[in-house]
Structure 1
Amino acid sequence: MTLRIAFMGSPAFGLPTLEALIAAGHEIACVYSQPPRPAGRGKKERLTPVHEFATARGIEVRTPKSLKKAPEQEAFAALNLDLAIVVAYGLILPKAILDAPKRGALNLHGSLLPRWRGAAPIQRAIMAGDKITGVQVMRMEEGLDTGAILSTATTPIEFDDNTATLHDRLSAIGATLMRDTLDKLERGETTETPQSEEGVTYAHKITPAETRIDWTRPAREIDCMIHGLSPAPGAWFELDGVRIKALLSRQGQGSGAPGEVLDDNLLIACGEGAVRLITVQREGRGPLASDVFCVVSRFPQACGSLEPNQSGG
């Protein structure tokens, strides 16, 4: 059976789900996305990836700055929807919006709830050293990611995963999960399981102060931090007053004063253990393998150690 759906999403994470809904034959009555924002050197207004995709396919796109006022809520209700599907939309949905579709609103969330409720679940899972994560289809309610769970798909977090690789994998898994969940919903085969009140953690947005490497921390934490912040915004340190991003790393063998360079291939001593930087990026330049970086920058010969504690903003 075809469902009449409003898709609400903004970044690329939601694109596979939107494509899957279209391929399954559902009617996308409208797409809601974040308003265009200035971007790039010319500060030209840029559409969100979901907005661009929908426009290219002739789907109506609405970009309200808020859904809290009556006119926006009335316009949404007038769509006469069966269901709203929300994937990384970025706006708070008031009760009037959640209640308007006949079957309410479902959200695809990139973690295993109640762990990592909030805006940055993928980054936080990697930074925390989690070994497994997943996506879940959740019944939306007014609380922050507190609704009942309809379905779950899991995936291991591999040692070489970063935010980009895990993002893409979860996005693809999530599209299949949402499609299958709607099929089961139509057949009356879904169950809604309330979330546990134990193990709740929050995936707050990444702040600039969190992105600077503190070499006094254990190597395990720094390695997870580097992968969780790669490729953007990037974990970083300073060399001769220039910001260097660490994009790929491995835990290594070695010891020394925190920030001490232990060999000629960017093995850096930490508070416990050592981290080998594999790919780095000098401010304003492209990414480089560590051995190439060492040659072109005369590092570490030019600098015997890094500032030990670089945790400030």
Structure 2
Amino acid sequence: MRLVFAGTPEVALPSLRAFLDSSRHDVVAVVTRPDAPVGRGRRIERSPVAALADEHGIEVLSPAKAGDPDFLDRLRALEPDLCPVVAYGALLPQRTLDIPRFGWVNLHFSVLPAWRGAAPVQASVRAGDDITGATTFRIVKELDAGPVFGVVTEKIQPRDTSGDLLGRLSVSGAELLLSTVDGIEAGTLRAVDQPTDGVTYAAKITVDDARLDFGTPAVALDRLARAVTPEPGPWAEFRGERLKLGPVTPVEDVTLPAGEIVVERKRVLVGTATTAVALGEVQAQGKKRMAATDWARGVRIEAGERIA
């Protein structure tokens, strides 16, 4: 089939590569978000999907909005049979959805109807789910509500971050998306409506959402810190400045006042509403990321000092 692939970040690359390697399909173009500033220097960079398309000499479409008339005209001219989507990052209006013969098929990183929305993996980790997965479905106007073609599941390991989990799902999900498109082409696969029960939503995670509140239980801090790693990254305040953190580890046999820091030879503990947590990596403003013990020795933690 003639495919126009839509996606933006690195998590979409395994799926794009699967289609590029397939002998059954022809990727005639990709749709991705416009070039954007990244890093401290705010250097303008191509999206990972655009960069991979460039390497293969594939046309890149980067509309400001997916309903722009020029974009729609070019998409019609390409005559795609189907548009696979992985983390494109923009809403698709109905006039865009209507163009490909077999529609737009999305790979979403949850077992729908659970965790529809922008941050399903983060929501699943934060909620303490045991199992998550990926789902392929036909895109409709309502958010992540289209009929389902296929599902794969993945066990969430006790120390998984969102980055860890998404890395695995991007690979297994690529296989699912390819087999879904193969099945649609062969006429052997039919979509099934999602159940109306069990619908949950996963809103986009902001920097403010990633702040760790040490007045909450250790298990909640652990889940949140892992959920927002690597992006946008957990953080707190120490001595009035932002302190970037990594995942924390609950310590069941130590209790401290909420936020109080205790430095031991091989670990740095912080009190919570329940038992303490051990800090992992720490990055102070203007400094490199380092082990919490090295940071604590450098700043000379005083007795009773707290992190908030």
Compute the TM-score of the two structures, normalised by the length of structure 1: 0.92
Aligned to 1:132: 131
Task: Give the drift of 1:209.
Answer: 2.1
Task: Give the drift of 1:263.
Answer: 4.9
Output the CA distance in 2 between the equivalents of 1:183 and 1:69: 30
Task: Give the drift of 1:240.
Answer: 1.6
Q: 1:17 aligns with which of 11, 15, 18?
A: 15
The aligned runs of 1:76-115 (5 Å cut-off) are: 76-115=75-114
**1:234/1:245 contact within 8 Å kept:** yes
- How many residues are matched? 304
- 1:201-243: CA deviation from partner (whole Å, max 9, x where unpaired): 2111112321221111111000001111112221111222232
Aligned to 1:260: 260
AA aligned to 2:198 is: G
Q: In structure 2, do the counterparts of structure 1 residues 17 and 45 end up closer, same or farther at CA, with 3 Å as the change threshold?
A: same
Output the CA distance in 1 between the equivalents of 2:213 and 2:106: 36
Aligned to 1:33: 32
Output the CA distance in 2 between the equivalents of 1:218 and 1:305: 19
**1:84/1:104 contact within 8 Å kept:** yes
Say if 2:287 is the partner of 1:285. yes
AA aligned to 1:172 is: V
Say if 2:271 is the partner of 1:274. no
Output the CA distance in 2 between the equivalents of 1:230 and 1:104: 34
Output the CA distance in 1 between the equivalents of 2:296 and 2:37: 36
Aligned to 2:213: 214
Deviation larger for 198-207 or 287-296: 287-296
Q: Match of 1:248, SS? A: coil
Task: Give the drift of 1:135.
Answer: 0.7
Aligned to 2:198: 199
Output the CA distance in 2 between the equivalents of 1:48 and 1:106: 21
Deviation larger for 154-163 or 283-292: 283-292
Identity fraction in percent: 36
Task: Give the drift of 1:262.
Answer: 4.5
Aligned to 1:168: 167
Output the CA distance in 2 between the equivalents of 1:279 and 1:36: 31
Task: Give the drift of 1:151.
Answer: 0.5
Compute the TM-score of the two structures, normalised by the length of structure 2: 0.93
AA aligned to 1:90 is: G
Gap runs ≥5 in structure 1: none
Output the CA distance in 2 between the equivalents of 1:181 and 1:69: 28
CA RMSD, 1 decimal: 1.6
AA aligned to 2:240 is: G
**1:211/1:233 contact within 8 Å kept:** yes
